[in-house]
Amino acid sequence: MLKSDYILRMVEQLVQALARIAGRRQAGEPASFEQELDDFSKTAFGMSLDLVAGLPDDELMKLFVRDRLPDYDRIALLVRVLWERCRLDDAGGATGPRARKALRLLAAVGRRTDPRSLAAHREAFVALVTAFEKAPPTPTILHDLWLSCEALGLYARAEDKLYALDALEPLVHATPGEAFYRRLLESDDDTLEAGGLPRDEVEDGLTRWIERSRRHG
């Protein structure tokens, strides 16, 4: 079985688990979503969700490896599980430590994740980003939102985060910001339009960003 097929099968199993949880809640039955997601985590990652969530990010990158490289698709699946766990928690977990870890990992692996895998998580990941857009805009959160929005094709929102980040940390992100615009220019016109930044706006944005960096440099 190809890796992408395996990941998509695991995504389907996760969706089924979430549907069972939703069905029990709708029926007024106690929904032990912690156990349901913990069982899924043991199947998908070989360890409990609490254990995997407690590992430092760099340890996860070392643990989830395929062909001596980080297994970005499995890490994206972990992001999804962490976020779904937060969404099911009625105790305000939408921007808590688990959700923060999910956003941080999404920022790290989003652009490297297989497009088919990323598409399978898109709705949930957009919800994750949207939740943190309502949080206090610290530099680290803005940085992770910027990269996550880009990975999800939310280019206009990504640009907004880049400028907000630059306002808090002037010139720190001059080179990465320029690279962001140049990456976008490699996309086709339809993709850019769908992301809210047509090609002419990306070109103008690149020019303005370079001029801004030189002016304040």
Q: How confident is the model at residue 68 (pLDDT cuts 50, 70, 90)?
A: confident
User: What value does the mean pLDDT of the chain take?
Assistant: 90
> What confidence tens digit (pLDDT) does each residue in 17-61 have?
999 888 887 777 766 788 889 999 999 999 999 898 899 999 988
- For residues 123 and 154, is the Cβ–Cβ distance under 8 A? no
For the chain, the domain total comes to 2
User: Mean pLDDT, to the nearest integer, of 189-203?
Assistant: 98
pTM of the model: 0.91
Q: Which of 93, 115, 135 is the last residue of a domain?
A: 135
- Is residue 14 a part of any domain in this protein? no
Domain residue limits at 193: 136-217
Q: Are 128 and 151 in the same domain?
A: no
Residue labelled with tokens 């106690």 = 30
> What confidence tens digit (pLDDT) does each residue in 91-117 have?
556 788 899 999 999 999 999 999 988
Cα–Cα distance between 205 and 199 in angstroms, integer? 10
Q: Which of 119, 135, 151 is the last residue of a domain?
A: 135
Q: What do you get for the CA distance between the two ends of the chain, in Å?
A: 52
Encoded tokens for 69: 């490289």
Q: Which of 110, 135, 160 is the last residue of a domain?
A: 135
Kindly report the CA angle at 101 between 96 and 107, in degrees rounded to 5?
125
For the ranges 25-29, 170-174, 213-217, the maximum mean pLDDT occurs at 170-174
